């Protein structure tokens, strides 16, 4: 399910980039190519469509991002956390004073 949502997110992102690039901030863009008055989808309807498509894709991007975060596979994250916890538990405390032997070792074979 996570892979499906990731692919949908990628498709929505690409479509959103394309829709935004088609628009012109000064009212031109794709709408400037359709300036004939006798068309069903004229300049105003084209800009309305592009604006609605932008808002729709932005909403879909937000929705898929929130839903996708719920489907993130958590199996690998738990393994990494336990490894970190294991390293913390087995680590040597650097502030601990080392224990030195209080008596000299007995050498039975050395001097006779």
Chain position carrying tokens 């394309």: 18
Q: How far apart are alpha carbons 66 and 56 in whole angstroms?
A: 15
Per-residue model confidence as pLDDT tens digits over 17-33? 999 888 876 655 555 55
Q: How far apart are alpha carbons 22 and 106 in whole angstroms?
A: 88
Question: Residue ranges of the alpha helices (H) in the chain?
Answer: 2-22, 43-70, 75-90
**pTM of the prediction?**
0.52
Per-residue model confidence as pLDDT tens digits over 16-73? 999 988 887 665 555 555 555 555 555 567 778 888 999 999 999 999 999 998 888 7
């Amino acid at each position: 399910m996570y892979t499906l949502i990731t692919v949908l997110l990628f498709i929505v992102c690409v479509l959103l980039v394309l829709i935004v690039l088609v628009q012109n901030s000064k009212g031109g863009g794709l709408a400037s190519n359709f300036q004939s008055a006798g068309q069903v989808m004229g300049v105003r309807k084209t800009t309305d469509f592009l604006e609605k498509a932008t808002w729709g894709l932005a909403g879909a991007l937000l929705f898929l991002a929130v839903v996708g975060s719920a489907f993130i596979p958590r199996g690998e994250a738990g393994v990494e956390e336990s490894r970190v916890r294991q390293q913390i538990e087995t680590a040597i405390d650097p502030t601990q004073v080392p224990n030195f032997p209080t008596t000299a070792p007995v050498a039975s074979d050395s001097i006779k």
